[in-house]
Amino acid sequence: MEQLNKEYLMDLASKVRDYALSKDVDAAEVYFNYSKTMEILAENQSISTERSKSELGFAIRVLKNRAEGFSYSNKLDIDALKSAADEAIAVARVSPSKDNLRFPSPTSYSSIDGIYSKSVSDLQVDDLIDNMKVVLSYIKESKVPIRVNLSPLSVAETWVGIVNSLGIENFERRNNYTGGFFAVAREGEKIGSFVVSDFFTRDPKSVDYEAFTGDLINRAIQNMNPIVPKSIDSDVVIFKEGAVFPLAQVVGFATGADNVQQERSMWKDRLADKVALDNFTVLDESHNPARGAGVKSFDGEGNPTRQTTIIKNGYLESFLYDELRAARADVVSTGNSARQGFMAPPNMIMPNGPTFAPGDMSEEELFEDIKEGIIFDRFSGSTQVPNGIFSGVVKGAQLIRNGELAEPLKNVTIGGNMFDVLQNITGMGKELDLVNGFLSTPLIKAKGVPIKAQ
């Protein structure tokens, strides 16, 4: 599309903002989001699907008499966008008023180097097919048959722009190249459990497909023929990186100012209190490109993002704010307002680069004092995020016996409360891993987690 460039889109957004202002509203905001994805999927040992998608939409938000109106359109047409603005104004006229409802004023923000890569943008479908063939060639050479299930190589690109009547005019372009592989090994009657490996990069040439696939194969073979233990006399677990995600969800919910102010957060009255052991620190590294797809220069309302220390050495230091909750608390927004694309107003508070700071222990040091325990890749069950209660089956689990990895396990469940886990962390790995292109975390060792063999 010839018109798809920064200058045209920002000019169109400004015209729609000015049109809304001409209709006697107190404030107007126009946001646009262009997203493009390209993906190749592998099934078993073959390429199964190629798909691509692009979408562009504009969101119009207005304030009138302390009430908010919102509408959107995916038509790149000034008349259609003016109609959407009229609809937003009509919604504002009949909506209830809210205290402290406001748009942010301009504040300088620093563009982040490294979140857009021309080498990623230049990737074509044929490049992804060639890269997938390389991965599958290593899988076919495995000494034990390996099957992959709906495993993608993907390119994603996003353009985001926002203008408002207070003077904000922000634009940013981001992209990434990712892979996510689900593999299982099977030889005769021996079958393993699925293992998961992924990568996230903005430098396609940095991916070592042989090393990546070799690790995937080794882990799949390592998880072959799992046993159902009669019992496990231990409450010590090591959460591998993918298994940490439910813990991150609980921390994220508890530190979002929307949940704090609605009294849904378990930590609503705990600011400056100790909420975890001394070795636990959580950061929002919003300006570090290595922290994944959420890293950005400004948030869903146009406020600049920033590095925020959420928990430091076990003490709760900060909640995360958008503009509305910051106004209610008489503080400055932390730049954590989030949107679900262009079809909804900014209605979430999320960390941009959530990071559980690493500790100082190697994997061997985490293992060495464990007489019996488990380490696992991921968790299949339920987590009640507001109160932290969790239970379910561990996946990709292995027994640890006398400080060494032992048999792979199946039909083993764990349960408890994530807030208790935070109080019982006994070790943190020294290496960070990026999970799902979003959460950076080390291995986490904890005690006091009930383990049951089914």
Residues 236-273 have pLDDT tens digits of 999 999 999 999 999 999 999 999 999 999 999 999 99
The backbone region for 403, taken as left when phi is positive above 0, alpha when psi lies in -120 to 50, beta otherwise, is left
- Cα–Cα distance between 19 and 15 in angstroms, integer? 6
Token digits of residue 392: 């379910």
pLDDT band at 110 (very low <50, low <70, confident <90, very high): confident
Burial class (CB in 10 A: 0-12, 13-18, 19+), 334: buried
The DSSP code sequence of 358-373 is: --SB-HHHHHTT-SEE
- Cα–Cα distance between 283 and 301 in angstroms, integer? 21
4 vs 35, 52, 71, CA distance in Å? 12, 18, 22
Instruction: Find the mean pLDDT for residues 325-339.
Output: 97
Neighbours of 262 (CB within 10 A): 11
Burial class (CB in 10 A: 0-12, 13-18, 19+), 376: buried
Q: What is the pLDDT of residues 430-446, one digit of tens each?
A: 999 999 999 999 999 99
The secondary structure element, H or E, covering residue 253 is helix 245-255
The DSSP code sequence of 165-180 is: TTS-EEEEEEEEEEEE
Is the domain spanning 6-219 CATH 3.20.20.80? The answer is no
- Cα–Cα distance between 81 and 12 in angstroms, integer? 9
Q: What is the pLDDT of residues 360-415, one digit of tens each?
A: 999 999 999 999 999 999 989 999 999 999 999 999 999 999 999 999 999 999 99
Question: Tell me, what's the pLDDT at 189?
Answer: 82
Domain map of the chain by residue range?
6-219, 227-454
Q: What is the pLDDT of residues 197-238, one digit of tens each?
A: 999 999 999 999 999 999 999 999 999 999 999 889 899 999
Q: What is the pLDDT of residues 278-329, one digit of tens each?
A: 989 999 999 999 999 999 999 999 999 999 999 999 999 999 999 999 999 9
Token digits of residue 297: 């220069």
pLDDT band at 109 (very low <50, low <70, confident <90, very high): confident
Q: What is the rounded radius of gyration, in angstroms, for the C-alpha atoms of the chain?
A: 24
Q: What is the pLDDT of residues 58-72, one digit of tens each?
A: 999 999 999 999 999
Instruction: Find the mean pLDDT for residues 168-180.
Output: 97
- Cα–Cα distance between 314 and 275 in angstroms, integer? 6
Q: Write down the pTM of the prediction.
A: 0.94
Question: Tell me, what's the pLDDT at 188?
Answer: 86
Asked if 62 and 27 touch (Cβ cutoff 8 Å), the reply is yes
The secondary structure element, H or E, covering residue 308 is strand 308-312
Instruction: Find the mean pLDDT for residues 80-93.
Output: 98
DSSP state of 241: G
Question: Tell me, what's the pLDDT at 2?
Answer: 47
